[in-house]
Amino acid sequence: MRETSPDPDDSFRRNTIKKTVSVMLIILGLVTITYGWQMRSTVELVQIIKTKTVIEENQEDKNTKLRNAGIGAAIGAAALGTTAAIVGGIGLVAMGTGIGAPAGAGLIAAASALGAAAGGISGAAIGEKETVIEKVPRQIEYKETVINPKYTIPQYSLVLGAGIALIVIGGFSLKRK
């Protein structure tokens, strides 16, 4: 068998291919590191629907003064008017004879008006005016946006590590001749 001597062109081609592969590994490592760094900063927005309780105030005015004044006026007018009709009268004495005449309609009306006024004032004084504030809880739904990382630390660290490993392998193979 005959031994062939090494071809200088063949050795040059091999060195060129090795250097090209080494440079390609370094470039691939840089691209992988860039992708891993991009993975690290990628986030996704998640909308969460939450519910919270809000206290609302309902205000209601209760006024019994007007109602009590009306009731008092009716009772006062009836009571004083009836009393005036029963008790009231005009007595005349003429020549030893006594004649009694009931009070006139005007006097009964005046007594009724006086009773109505007194009853109305008394009823209004007894009545109350108050404001009732009722607190009612109410549920309100709202959306909250949360920012979550898209990739976990081990995921993007693995990609960064692979890129660094490619650069190191490419660098060592470039160094070797």
Encode the chain (177 residues) as per-residue pLDDT tens digits.
455 556 667 777 878 888 888 899 999 999 999 999 999 888 898 888 888 888 888 777 777 777 777 888 888 878 777 777 766 655 555 555 655 555 566 666 777 777 778 777 877 777 777 777 778 888 888 888 888 888 999 999 999 999 999 999 998 888 775
Which residues face 63 on adjacent strands?
A: 129
The per-residue pLDDT for 146 is 87
The per-residue pLDDT for 82 is 76
Tokens of 91: 């007595």
8 Å CB contact between 120 and 78? no
The per-residue pLDDT for 100 is 55
The per-residue pLDDT for 164 is 93
The per-residue pLDDT for 75 is 84
Distance CA 161, CA 170 (A): 14
The per-residue pLDDT for 10 is 76
Per the document, the length of the chain is 177
8 Å CB contact between 6 and 150? no
